[in-house]
Amino acid sequence: MMLAIILTIVIIQRLMELFIARSNEKWMKKHGAVEVGKEHYKWIVMLHVLFFISLIVEVRMFERDLSPLWPVFFCLFVVAQYVRFWSLKSLGKFWNTKILVLPNVNVISKGPYKYIRHPNYLIVMLEIFLLPMMFQAYYTVLIFSVVNAIVLRIRILTEEEALMKHTNYRTQFLLKRRFISQRTR
pLDDT score at 146: 98
Q: What is the largest CA-CA distance in the chain?
A: 53
Q: How far apart are CA 85 and CA 88, in angstroms?
A: 5
Q: ∠127-131-135 over CA atoms, to 5°?
A: 165
SS3 35: strand
pLDDT band (50, 70, 90) for residue 176: low
94-120 per-position pLDDT tens digit: 999 999 999 999 999 899 998 888 999
Report the run of H or E that residue 8 belongs to, with start and end. Answer: helix 2-30
114-159 per-position pLDDT tens digit: 888 899 999 999 999 999 999 999 999 999 999 999 999 999 999 9
Whether 133 contacts 67, CB under 8 Å = yes
Residues sharing a CB contact under 8 Å with residue 170, sequence separation 6 or more, in sequence order: 164
Asked if pLDDT for residue 26 goes beyond 90, the answer is yes
Walk me through the domains of the chain, giving residue ranges and CATH numbers.
30-173 (1.20.120.1630)
Mean pLDDT of 161-177: 82
Whether 151 contacts 47, CB under 8 Å = yes
